Structure 1
């Protein structure tokens, strides 16, 4: 089985930087990923946070499509409860018409009332499939973190990406459900994993600690930008922060290229997927690009088209 590698980027805002800096870093990452041989790149939707700049993935998708030539580009994802299906369909139909065969539409159910989510998703699916001259529909993905979302993806016949970096515990049963029941030849499954790669294990642990500090403090109600390694090294961890870091480290892979390579391959086998979507959060955008570069080299990625 050939394992595809893709990217989920959240446009993280480093401590001392601006949202504009974060968005520019996402564009630079896309250009690098396009050359490195990654399969697709998704951008997330976050609101009311000091840590992430990506509030409108559809706008970033358009920018990334124009900045790249080979990558599939999409949302990871649009929070459908916030929007009317017609508007989402219109936006992504235009993107797919301008960039046929390169557009993904990942849909999440957070951000609003979920009771009408299945109806909205069904309506969106039908609107995207409406034929038109010169139009190739975007690939529709449901993003989930539970067995229930896997059932929904199967019912609608759409592709399914499981957020292992959010909830690793139910990842195996959810993907077993989807992979066993999915009968659509054009629908695929993928596992989204949080990982950081560095040339040495010591450097990888330093980068991981900055993420774990940020995430632990966020869990405890502190809305902050991503701290630098210097801040993380000087920080005096509370007992609560350490407990949260221990828990959050279970959904984080950090190490050298060969170490992370082996763990990702093992995860793909356990979950029965042929695509891993990697999410990397670092304070310095250069470390983020380098992490993806080292991972591409470990997997011998090449750009064939």
Structure 2
């Protein structure tokens, strides 16, 4: 259902109860690793970001992955800060939105527009979907850090004022099982008996570098992440994590930069390989506000 090719990632396009996989080079491995690194370093220390641990953020721009702070980190908000208790966004609580994440998201949406214009995506309302992509502006992101038994229950991303602009999600690290509720019954390809609500649940495996776009009728669909395969350590994840750990660790010797690890970056490598990071991006306000 997804690709593990070094230079190819999968866009999972969810629109109007239709599901399409698109193998694409929308982003290079270097850009993917830059995003991965940013989520482990600069975004954690941004003075305008917020996280589940309050303001107790390690001051160094390089992480010490054995620091208890990181083992407890579960989410960071960027741009518009989601207010968890009230389930709203507040115009007075807005931080900086990272330029790298902004550019990558815009590129993904532009690629989607290209597919719609070329009629490579089947939709009953292509013109409306295209309109929703035309002036897409990334304004908020919740970066989730999944550790050990961390999961996410069914929910709908409906706090945004603009509830039609596509929701973009990018995954890093171990594979996750993503579930999407659909209004129409799903014919599953396996023999395991499914009853009740499971007949209206679409399971998708999200691998490292994969993208989910929720648009059209699927934009407000309930979804969940009930399971992370932390033992699913693919070659792509291992090699990528090694390179990222070298960038994180300031003690690695230059001649070992391609393959070797010191005791310090080994600790970072272990953390990176056992942490699933997901960044979901959305437009909060309508374009003409």
Tell me the TM-score normalised to structure 1 length.
0.25
Tell me the TM-score normalised to structure 2 length.
0.26
Please identify which structure carries the higher helix content.
1
Please identify which structure carries the higher strand content.
2
